[in-house]
Amino acid sequence: MTTFAELGLDPKVLSAVSDAGYTAPTPIQAGAIPPALEGRDVLGIAQTGTGKTASFVLPMITLLGRGRARARMPRSLVLAPTRELAAQCAENFDIYAKKTKLTKALLIGGVSFKEQDALIDKGVDVLIATPGRLLDHFERGKLLLTGVQIMVVDEADRMLDMGFIPDIERIFQLTPFTRQTLFFSATMAPEIERVTNTFLSAPAKIEVARRASAAENIEQAVICYTASRKDRQAKEKRELLRALIEREGEGCKNAIIFCNRKTEVDIVAKSLKAHGYDAAPIHGDLDQSQRTRTLESFRDGKLRFLIASDVAARGLDVPAVSHVFNYDVPSHAEDYVHRIGRTGRAGRDGKALTICVPYDEKWLTAIEDLVEKKIPRVESPLKSGSEDRGNRSRRNKRHEGDAEAAAAPAVQAAPESPERSEEPRESARPPRNERRPERSERTERSESQDRNKPQSRHQSPRRSGGRGHRDEPVVGMGDHMPAFLLRSFKPRTEAEPAAADEPVEQNAE
């Protein structure tokens, strides 16, 4: 059995490790620390929860034991994809370097530039940062990277997912060519291999576990669920989550619930709190101080359920997480490995439950192809209830169908009247050969009336809208002049007699 004393670490580091309660290194630590102490580049691939952070922090403290940092020129650089993971690295550095005089600075978003600039101006041995905030300080002229001796890239595959690879390449170009580079990741995508081939020189490759594989001490299960109606899927899915928590009972001491979208994180957290569960959200849109308080409460055991997005999947180091619930199946298969890696840490047993709706089946297939394992399916706690409702509905429909079937023969068996059965039914309509003479006679009468009717060239074939007769003639100005147009508007004297067509006014006496 290998011990930390056999790895060649500084005695002060060994004392700090012993105080932390660690006696034997993990496989990734035993494989990465010796070549790192020799000054070689290291490429470490291991699943989450295996102690990758200590694999580069311990040799870094030992190598930086000699020397002194200068203002604005850190001696080592650690890049992390998220604020939580960067803070975790800083906490590990404080634990293992407490008996040394090394200094550190943490550069993450959500913190004042002024406080960070003050630390950099004093000079730090270890600079732990996220890529975006590091470049912000560099562009403001507050930081120089020409004195970096050791550069560490933690969770390199997550850097790729978050679009940090161009920033990583730029940071590499700002550091000296003679630096020592340590790359650590849980998975190794082809793009990451291109970066390692470009910036690492003959690295010592340590792969202690199959790529993109989960720890064997994590029990995995998938609950395939189909909602009763599409518009009820979100509500029934939250109901299913609560049913799974209740089914786990006291065994679910604390849990992380992962969602794909930030809005879904807030909705699930609000729903759980409304039903009496101790839950709180954490995602990238929250203020950093609120994220820190929520994470500390969960780590201290004051918070039972932490609803998180994938931004927290890489930065949470809570050894006692009993369960991980994937409320949504991750769209990237690699994220599944990192999510469930939050449980079953430090050799403990863990359990990961994933809710899969029909839309997520393609992503579930990609996950099983990546881990090269069929994830067991378990029965939904809501399935029996839905089946009972379905059976009742089908039973009611069957009873209704039987009633209709019973009523149908009674109608068919009703006796017919003797008259209808013995005598043929007379048709209300006369035969075609009897109706033709009538129609012909009617047509002749109509034509005769039309011939006798006086014709007018202004006659219209249209109806008069119900106010007159059919084919009523329309009189125009051409054939008839209205009488009022022929009247004279010249005032008449008393001597002049009235016109024949004018009415005679009579005085009312």
- 138 and 286 belong to one structural domain: no
Of 334 and 290, the one with more pLDDT: 290
- Residue 244 neighbours by CB under 8 Å, 6+ apart: 223, 325, 353, 355, 381
The percent helix, strand, coil of the chain (3-state, each to 5) is 45, 15, 40
Mapping DSSP to helix (H, G, I), strand (E, B) and coil, where does residue 126 land? strand
- 171 and 242 belong to one structural domain: no
- 299 and 332 belong to one structural domain: yes
pLDDT of residue 348: 81
Q: Is residue 478 a part of any domain in this protein?
A: no
- 203 and 254 belong to one structural domain: no
HSE-CB at 462 with a 13 A cutoff on CA atoms is: 5
Tell me the two tokens of residue 13.
């580091």
Q: Is residue 330 a part of any domain in this protein?
A: yes
CA distances from 463 to 451, 460, 467, 472 (A): 19, 8, 9, 8
Res. 473 pLDDT band, cuts 50 70 90:
low
Q: Is residue 452 a part of any domain in this protein?
A: no
Domain containing 376 equals 218-385
* Number of domains observed in the structure of the chain: 2
Please report, for the domain that includes residue 128, its CATH number: 3.40.50.300
- 203 and 230 belong to one structural domain: no
**DSSP letters for 416-471:** PPHHHHHSPPPPSSPPHHHHHHHHHHHHHHHHHHHHHSPP-TTB-SS--TTSS-TT
pLDDT of residue 395: 46
Instruction: Measure the CA–CA gap between 438 and 103, rounded to whole angstroms.
Output: 117
pLDDT of residue 497: 57
Instruction: Measure the CA–CA gap between 110 and 296, rounded to whole angstroms.
Output: 17
- pLDDT, one tens digit per residue, over 410-464 is 444 444 444 444 344 444 454 544 444 454 455 455 555 555 555 544 444 444 4
- 227 and 369 belong to one structural domain: yes
Angle at CA of residue 292, ends 287 and 298, nearest 5°: 130
pLDDT of residue 306: 94
- 341 and 366 belong to one structural domain: yes
- pLDDT, one tens digit per residue, over 360-417 is 999 999 999 988 889 999 999 986 444 444 444 444 455 455 544 444 444 444 444 4
Q: Is residue 498 a part of any domain in this protein?
A: no
- pLDDT, one tens digit per residue, over 296-315 is 899 889 999 999 987 665 65
pLDDT of residue 492: 61
Last residue of a domain, one of 207, 229, 259: 207
- 236 and 356 belong to one structural domain: yes
pLDDT of 239 higher than 90: yes
Number of CB atoms found within 10 A of residue 448's CB: 10
pLDDT of residue 370: 85
Last residue of a domain, one of 385, 405, 420: 385
Last residue of a domain, one of 341, 361, 385: 385
Instruction: Measure the CA–CA gap between 169 and 156, rounded to whole angstroms.
Output: 12
**Could you tell me if 108 and 83 are in contact, meaning their C-beta atoms sit under 8 angstroms apart?**
yes
Number of CB atoms found within 10 A of residue 220's CB: 21
pLDDT of 504 higher than 60: no
Q: Is residue 291 a part of any domain in this protein?
A: yes
Q: Is residue 259 a part of any domain in this protein?
A: yes
- pLDDT, one tens digit per residue, over 109-148 is 888 888 899 989 989 999 999 999 999 999 999 999 999 9
- 57 and 13 belong to one structural domain: yes
Number of CB atoms found within 10 A of residue 111's CB: 14
- 70 and 164 belong to one structural domain: yes
Q: Is residue 444 a part of any domain in this protein?
A: no
pLDDT of residue 205: 92
- 195 and 77 belong to one structural domain: yes
The residue written with tokens 């034991």 in the block is 65
Least confident of 41-50, 249-258, 329-338, 435-444: 435-444
The stretch 50-73 carries a mean pLDDT of: 89
Mapping DSSP to helix (H, G, I), strand (E, B) and coil, where does residue 42 land? strand
Q: Is residue 400 a part of any domain in this protein?
A: no
- 79 and 20 belong to one structural domain: yes
